[in-house]
């Protein structure tokens, strides 16, 4: 059975398959909306315009101009190069045993990370931070002080930052949060953002990440590593085969 023809533009028959091929090249989030008839009609209109302009280019001999020929040669070279490079890495795979081996050999990447739960108050001046600390010592609750004085958006939660791991906060803040006493007002601690008063409410060691939790991440990392190695080795091989002479820039 012949393909359904949706339109004929400058003598070119635009089929359902041609329209589908164009839509398949759209990003996935846009393809979702292509079941809408209006959206598909817009793509069809673009296809019609494409073939009309191509006919114009042929008739006005744009396709015979030196500018066109130079650009076509450049695009052909780029396309051929990209396809050749893709062929080097397209069949690279990673099996589960390789993933598990990487997991076992790199325990530091999946080790438990210490976490802390804290509140803080951020102000611009050390003098104000000291004054707020004095008010807290005299009976003002830390949460109420945060709502009154802090310039951080966390003020709406009484300064509550929730749990955070090492490496998520600036060094000065992190050092105080993980070394200071629990449930004691720490600071003022100066960072690039200003002066902090910190109240650490809890600390815990955290749990090591199980293999199943990171398998997909390991898979992607190993695939990329293998592809990069195969690409580099192929470039070296081709350089020896075809020759490379570097000139000073």
25-54 per-position pLDDT tens digit: 888 888 888 878 899 999 999 999 999 999
Three-class secondary structure of residue 16 per DSSP: helix
The model's pLDDT over 74-118, given as tens digits with 9 standing for 90+, comes to 999 999 999 999 999 999 999 999 999 999 999 888 887 889 999
Cite the DSSP H helix spans in 25-154: 28-31, 37-59, 66-89, 96-105, 126-137, 142-149
Q: What is the pLDDT of residue 18?
A: 94
Which residues sit opposite 164 in a β-bridge?
116
Instruction: Kindly report the CATH number that applies to the domain delimited by 114-204.
Output: 3.10.50.40
Within a 13 Å sphere around the CA of 33, how many CA atoms are in the beta-carbon half? Answer: 9
Q: 2 pLDDT band (50/70/90 cuts)?
A: low
Write down the domain spans for the chain.
1-64, 66-111+210-249, 114-204
Angle CA 208–212–213, to nearest 5: 55
- End-to-end alpha-carbon separation of the chain, Å? 60
Tens of pLDDT, residues 143-155: 999 999 999 999 9
pTM, to two decimals: 0.60
C-alpha–C-alpha distance, residues 189 and 128, integer Å = 12
How far apart (Å, rounded) are the C-alpha atoms in residues 8 and 169?
61
């Amino acid at each position: 059975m012949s393909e359904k023809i949706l339109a004929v533009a400058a003598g070119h028959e635009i089929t359902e398959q041609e329209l589908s091929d164009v839509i398949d090249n759209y990003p996935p989030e846009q393809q979702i909306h292509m079941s809408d008839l209006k959206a598909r009609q817009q793509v069809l209109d673009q296809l019609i315009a494409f073939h009309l302009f191509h006919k114009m280019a042929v008739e006005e001999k744009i396709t015979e101009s030196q500018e066109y020929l130079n650009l076509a040669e450049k695009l052909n070279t780029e396309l051929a190069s990209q396809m050749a490079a893709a062929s080097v890495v397209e069949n690279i795979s990673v099996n589960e045993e390789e993933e598990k081996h990487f997991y076992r050999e790199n325990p530091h990447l999946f080790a438990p990370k210490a976490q802390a739960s804290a509140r803080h108050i951020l102000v611009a001046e050390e003098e104000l931070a000291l004054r707020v600390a004095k008010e807290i010592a005299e009976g003002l609750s830390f949460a109420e002080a945060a709502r009154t004085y802090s310039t951080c958006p966390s003020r709406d939660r009484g300064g509550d930052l929730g749990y955070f791991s090492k490496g998520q906060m600036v060094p000065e803040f992190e050092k105080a949060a993980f070394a200071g006493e629990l449930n004691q007002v720490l600071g003022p601690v100066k960072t690039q953002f200003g002066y902090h008063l910190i109240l650490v409410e809890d600390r815990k060691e955290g749990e090591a990440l199980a293999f199943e939790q990171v398998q997909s991440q390991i898979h992607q990392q190993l695939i990329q590593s293998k592809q990069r190695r195969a690409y580099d080795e192929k470039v070296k091989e081709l350089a020896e085969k075809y020759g490379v002479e570097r000139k000073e820039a």
